[in-house]
Chains A and B, each alone.
Chain A
Amino acid sequence: MAEYKLTDEGKKYLKQGLPEENLANLLRKGPIGFGEAKNKIENFAIAMQWVKKKGWVEVRDGKLSLVKYPEQIEEEEALKKIAAGKQADENVLKILMERNLVEKITETYKKTESELKKKGNTIGKLTHDIIATGLWRGKKFEAVNVRRPAKKIVVKQLGVGNRQPYEEFLMDVRKKLVKMGFIEMTGPTIELEFWNFDALFQPQHHPARTWSQTYALKYPKFGTLPSKKIVDGVKESHENGWKYKWDPRTAMKLMPRAHTTCLSARTLAGKHDIPEKYFALSSCFRPDVIDATHGIEFSQVEGIVVGDVNFKNLLGVLKELAKEIAGAEKVKFLPDYFPFTEPSAQISAKHPEMGWMEFGGSGVFREEWTHAIGVKEPVLAWGMGIDRLAMFKLNLSDIRELFSRNLEWLRARR
């Protein structure tokens, strides 16, 4: 039985010719430019390496010309022999192995091949060996009765599973907010600029609405605006407040939500109770360069309180949150700015282990837009990224690890 077989690349070259052979054939018609040859020959770098080594081609002034045309190529002859199950010259075989065109037939290969042969070259149970040897190629798979009721499993045999730790952390945060009396809000991931920006009184020329700050969609591009009453209210708030001509077309553009405040805007514009508390915890998307502190997406949690409330109450809510979510007894408030809140406040919290940290942004929603969407009562709002807290809790130094690809790490977190 033969000891060697062609690799996929070896098979391909046997069919299409070796790259150096193809290059030599191309140059038979006369010298051509480097760039042109590169475009015409697949695996050009490999071809160049071998034609130079074999002294077939010479390069001058960016042009390639043929020095010697090979009448017979020993590698090709050897590939033919090996494919036919015959013995090839030792030295050439060595080169072919190095070029990864030929590989040794393993014991597993032989065994798997003979087992498959016994079954008339049809595959019953698909196994690691059949996949790893590539022997499934060109074989038939036995059909199974897919409608047959499956055998019952014994749960005990499977061992214990495990929740994803970041997901579990997010659920914990949700539960803490529910305990504080907040109702969860949800909404579409792909959002209208109207809800992400316009409804929030963010003017259409605002720098935060540029490409460097938020994603735009190639497809689908435009959605449809909500009721005329709400649209007219928002248009008026912009034209009176920011003094420019508001463009509905810009508001119709679609984008992946860049913050959770769009969910608050949707909630306030829709049916809701007063007084009431709401929260959202969702993935948000911004075109950041991806590194240890910026993931592909990030989680933001946001809450609103609508009713007879004031700035003092906002600070009260923030203090409670810092305690519930970060375990912080001490907090500090600083002035802040958001286009959609006034007054605005940032909260710093003293985490028992992490020390002072920026905990979140907040404010009282600007009246210009809450009135425009039909809410007459003050609305307190707060929002924060919670990924840093999650990283601390899970002992991670890279934000991307929240979406860990490491099964061992996940399994170990029991």
Chain B
Amino acid sequence: MTTIEASHKDICELIGKKVTIEELKELALYAKGEVDEVNGDLLKIEIKDSNRPDLWSAEGIAREIRGRLNPSGCPKYKVRDSGMVINVDKKNKNVRPYTVCAVVKNLRITPDVLSQIIQLQEKIHSTFASNRKELAMGIYDFDRIKPPIKFTTVKPDGIKFTPLEFEEEMTPKEILEKHPKGKEFAHLLAGCREYPIFIDSRGEVLSIPPIINSNYSGKITEQTKNAFIECSGFNFKFLIPALNVVVAALADRGAEIETVKVVYPDKTIITPDLTPKKSWVDADYVRKCIGIKIGDKEICDLLRQANYNVKLKGKGVELEYPAYRQDVMHQRDIVEDIIISYGYNKIEPEPPKIKTVGRLDKMQIFSDKVAGAMVKLGFQQILSYNLTSKENLFEKMNLKEEKIVEIENYVSLNWNVFRTWLLPSVMEFYSNNQHVKFPQRVFEIGDVILIDEKQETKTRDVRKLAVAISDSEVAYDDIGSVLDAFLVALSVKYKLKKCKHASFIEGRVAEIVVKNKSIGFIGEIHPSVLENWKLEMPVAAFEIDVESLK
């Protein structure tokens, strides 16, 4: 999901037709977009597809709408040779091996164009490239560059240039330490002895990817006439679509695209390549997937609306689709485009003709029965979060810390471990209700998570029941009689066995034994534990393994 801002007027101009906001709300669905906010002319549009960077701009949205209003198949992009060359040093191999580039001429950069292009680049960086991890893109003023360009590496203090939005010259090392973008992205160059650099034939620095462009050439403004664009990274699978998406958007604005020759030590490639990609879809498969009766011809029409070139052949359709799309991996992706053209709401929903007998999980049924028994005994059910803190589980309960499931990137230390028993949740509940009428009889049924090396997840969910009474006077017998009534109601035979437990008063705590197996404990909570929870009323409680009662 990516949210972009765009001007209503600008989108209309790109579509080539004036549409109202209400109409646009419907049309945006063709680009998997939902108009979230309207602020005068400014729209906030949520694009659902996080795998379609081609949709993350006014140009991309308009392109999808244009196709549906005025189907003309796969958009054609004319590409000329710029004659420009980029030489990639073999030193880049271990630092930042690949780049793909383009030249875009005769730009007419209005404020709308500028904001769209910057936003698109930013969204590609943050979402498609996982915060520049997979790729970084630079857009430069072509007229300030003197080709050929060298893509090489440099020592951290081996050169000085003025980074974007700065006035003083800095070494790459200083940029990583002082420039806001340098600090933000320094981790992406961690461990590199030399940093990647684009540099022109006069020795003028273009950029240090993925960190920052130079202030001299690495900036486009409304005055920029011609632009040079590069995308660098580790995998062509990211670089090529990102470059194609941006140049296609600029071409939609009337600019001319030119290729660049990228010379690697072992090969030479010409980029961008906007030749449509080829695919094929089986017409019967389409009908089977969607479940509607449509003819081959209609399938072709719907595909043309989705910017595909189509040609019926045998039992299917031969397809050509735009080079900026990298999301078409399977016939299913094509099926979805057909449905979008057809209209989701034109399909009559039809429940599957499958007769099945539903059922609850056995543990759920049993838990429900247990809860019912406790309610009958006059107890209030409570529900607590599973996540808690070690302090709650151990320290406040007078217990020694044990190895338990612990979150690494926790949001708060109050919620960084999974509970191993329920009573701390109950105590915490009591601490919030000291002013409420006593007696307070409560219970909780829920899962705790225990370490279990034998399991594939090294953990085990265990369903527990905790029951507690708090009043101005509460004794062992009070909770003992509840346990007895509860287990009698479930027809479970049990024994109590003396034991020690640091959360309870010594001599007033016992193990609950069923079929010679200890399944829980019962007793009076120690006053020091009560004090830890800031409780002034005594508490007697038991906690029991629900599974063992079945």
What residues make up the interface of A, taking CB atoms closer than 8 Å to B?
125-128, 130-132, 134, 136, 141-144, 146-147, 149-153, 155, 157-164, 166-167, 171, 174-175, 177-186, 188-192, 205, 207, 210-211, 215-220, 222-226, 241-244, 254, 256, 275-277, 279, 283, 285, 287-290, 295-297, 305, 307, 309-313, 315-320, 331-337, 339, 342-346, 364, 366-368, 378, 380, 402-408, 410-411
Contacts and interface: CB of A to CB of B under 8 A. Distances in A.
A331 B476 CA distance: 56
B286 to A, nearest CB: 10
Nearest to B384: A403
Interface stretch (B112-120, B170-178, B224-232, B504-512): B504-512
A182 B473 contact: no
A310 B495 CA distance: 56
A147 B497 contact: yes
A205 B345 contact: no
Q: Which 7 A-B pairs have the closest CB atoms?
A: A158-B378, A143-B507, A310-B291, A312-B291, A150-B480, A316-B351, A315-B349
Given A367-B332, A407-B436, A317 B351 contact: yes
B361 A184 contact: yes
Given A146-B476, A152-B485, A181 B332 contact: no
A316 B140 CA distance: 52
B30 to A, nearest CB: 8
Given A162-B381, A184-B360, A186-B363, 15 more contacts: A126-B473, A128-B536, A157-B378, A174-B364, A183-B356, A183-B358, A189-B459, A211-B409, A223-B458, A244-B237, A277-B356, A287-B410, A311-B347, A334-B34, A334-B48
A69 to B, nearest CB: 38
A342 B48 CA distance: 13
A109 to B, nearest CB: 13
Nearest to B442: A407
A20 B49 CA distance: 64
Contact of B527 (A130, A220, A226): A130
Contacts of A147: 495-498, 510
A220 B332 contact: no
Contacts of A186: 361, 363-364
B223 interface: no
A161 B443 CA distance: 10
Contacts of B460: 188
B288 A310 contact: yes
Contacts of B20: none
A256 B472 contact: no
B386 interface: yes
Contacts of B505: 126, 141
Contacts of B535: 131
A189 B449 contact: yes
B502 interface: no
Contacts of B496: 146-147
Contact of A182 (B358, B474, B482): B358
21 contacts: A146-B508, A147-B498, A161-B381, A164-B380, A171-B364, A183-B356, A184-B358, A188-B457, A191-B457, A192-B457, A220-B405, A220-B451, A288-B411, A312-B347, A312-B348, A312-B349, A313-B291, A332-B345, A336-B32, A405-B432, A408-B437
B415 interface: yes
Nearest to B479: A150
A161 B360 contact: no
B530 interface: yes
Contacts of B415: 290, 296
B477 A151 contact: yes
Contacts of A243: 237
B368 A342 contact: no
A370 B509 CA distance: 52
Contact of A217 (B407, B411, B436): B407
B516 to A, nearest CB: 15
Contacts of B127: 207
A159 B469 CA distance: 13
B537 interface: yes
Interface string B327-357: 0011011011001100011011111101111
Which size bracket describes the interface of B in this complex? Answer: 35 or more
B387 interface: yes
Contacts of A318: 349
A180 B537 CA distance: 47
Contact of A184 (B329, B364, B481, B527): B364
Contact of A254 (B237, B458, B474): B458
Interface in B451-489: 451, 455-461, 472-477, 480-485
B130 interface: yes
Nearest to A201: B329
Interface stretch (B209-217, B255-263, B369-377): B369-377
A335 B31 CA distance: 9
Contacts of A224: 456
Nearest to A310: B291
Given A136-B527, A218-B406, A364 B352 contact: no
Contact of B509 (A130, A146, A157): A146
B361 to A, nearest CB: 4
Given A216-B409, A243-B237, A342-B336, A160 B378 contact: yes
Nearest to B495: A147
Nearest to B429: A405
Contacts of A335: 29, 32, 48-49, 336, 339-340, 344
B202 interface: no
Contact of A131 (B49, B358, B530): B530
B382 interface: yes
A155 B386 contact: no
Nearest to B383: A164
A167 B446 CA distance: 10
B381 A244 contact: no
A295 B381 CA distance: 20
B51 interface: yes
Contacts of B509: 146
B356 A161 contact: no
Contacts of A334: 29, 34, 48, 344
Contact of A128 (B385, B473, B484): B473
A1 to B, nearest CB: 24
B537 A218 contact: no
A411 B379 CA distance: 10
Given A343-B335, A368-B330, A153 B481 contact: yes
A151 to B, nearest CB: 5
Contacts of B345: 332-333
A211 to B, nearest CB: 5
Contact of A411 (B380, B403, B508, B531): B380
B347 A315 contact: yes
A401 to B, nearest CB: 11
Contact of B382 (A275, A320, A410): A410
B50 interface: yes
Given A128-B473, A162-B375, A339 B51 contact: yes
Contacts of B472: 127-128
A178 B457 contact: no
A131 B332 contact: no
A297 B344 contact: no
Contact of B352 (A150, A162, A316, A411): A316
B359 interface: yes
A407 B382 CA distance: 8
A184 B359 contact: yes
B134 interface: yes
Contact of B356 (A181, A190, A220): A181
